[in-house]
Amino acid sequence: MREENLNLRAVDLFAGAGGLSLGFENAGFEVVFAVENDIWNAETYRMNRNGKNREVILSDISQINLTDALKKFRLKKGEIDILLGGPPCQGFSFSNMKTRTIDNPKNHLFRQFLKAVKEIYPKWILFENVSGIVNFEKGKVIEIINSELRNLGYLCTWDVLNSADYGVPQMRKRFLLTANRLGIKFSFPKPAFGNGKKPCITVKDAISDLALLKNGNNIDSLPYCYNGSKLSNYQRDMRKDWGKNYCLNNWITKNSDLIVKRYKFIPPGGNWQNIPAYLMKNYKNKSNCHSGIYKRLKLDEPSIVISNFRKNMLIHPEQDRGLSVREAARLQSFPDWYVFYGRLGSQQQQVVDAVPPLLAEILGNRIMKYIIEC
């Protein structure tokens, strides 16, 4: 449902590498400008929008006068159709128990988003975060967000959605909140995959056409393994608008011989618990090892959540190595024409922090439907 003639305008805060923007652009929205404070995230965002007259403001959100930013684009308070944003969420995540407290300054960035709502006063809002925000401080953060938006005249709806239920080859649960000041009662799109519906998109569906790689591969551009009739529908979608016989971002972290030796003991679906004790002597307290460490993906299922896949040493389903940036991008539903910039560690972080563009597009289409019909 692409309604470009409606000229619906969006602003994306905490934009990262641009997954949320990409989805809403595909749904027909024009992202007037984005705000991002990391130089390589901003570079990736900018370079993938060359010639599209998009601007990414490289700055901390707290340092920007959003009223002036709107004026630059000849816009006034209240004229933006939707404000998008996913404040950095490590502080809310269950995997980050050390700083999962109210004292972590990152846990207050949602207030900057609320401040931006007051300055921009958009017709619609989409706020995204980790599912752990729901129970953080016994739901206090959600209560604050809902209360402040209601006081501004917004009608709020929130839910936790699993990306795999919407065609993304990854079990990734995210908190989504929509709100509008038009009195429209919104409902999220229903799952279309799994539980008796269409089969979930698997790791094989997503990455089996990509190059065979070795541990530590540092060759950026490599040809696909196969083409033509062997491609899954998902692979065809990822290659759409790319039109080349190769793809980029094939870099992989080079793991030590010891780590690669550990990999050999882990079956599909297994994790660090499959590694013999004599190879894990440097892990003094194994009770701190969560199930995602040394996890080998299964070809015939969606991936587990792509989170810190370098540090967790997420393992390719068939090869004794970590995932490449492009493989992780595929599992996040980034198309192959979308290129990531910066050092390897930065590229990896850009991918894992992003909102899956396919999920964002489905949400954009849903909101577009409400706008058209109401």
Q: Is residue 274 part of a domain?
A: no
Q: What is the CATH number of the domain that holds 161?
A: 3.40.50.150
Give the separation between CA 212 and CA 292, rounded to whole angstroms: 23
Q: Is residue 184 part of a domain?
A: yes
**46-64 pLDDT tens trace:** 999 976 657 899 999 999 9
Q: Is residue 164 part of a domain?
A: yes
pLDDT at 136 (0 to 100) = 85
pTM beyond 0.85: the answer is: yes
pLDDT at 366 (0 to 100) = 98
pLDDT at 88 (0 to 100) = 84
Inter-residue contact 17 to 44 (CB < 8 Å):
yes
Does 89 participate in catalysis according to the annotation?
yes
pLDDT at 371 (0 to 100) = 95
φ, ψ of residue 132 to 5 degrees: the values are -65, -15
Residues of the chain with pLDDT under 70: 1-5, 51-53, 89-107, 284-288
Catalytic residue among 89, 156, 200, 247: 89
Q: Is residue 19 part of a domain?
A: yes
The length of the chain in residues reads 374
Q: Is residue 275 part of a domain?
A: no
Place of tokens 């969606």: 302
Inter-residue contact 344 to 325 (CB < 8 Å):
yes
Q: Is residue 301 part of a domain?
A: no
Q: How many domains are contained in the chain?
A: 1
Q: Is residue 338 part of a domain?
A: no
> Domain limits at 28?
4-194+355-373
Nearest alpha carbon to residue 125 among 26, 13, 45, 231:
13
Q: Is residue 41 part of a domain?
A: yes
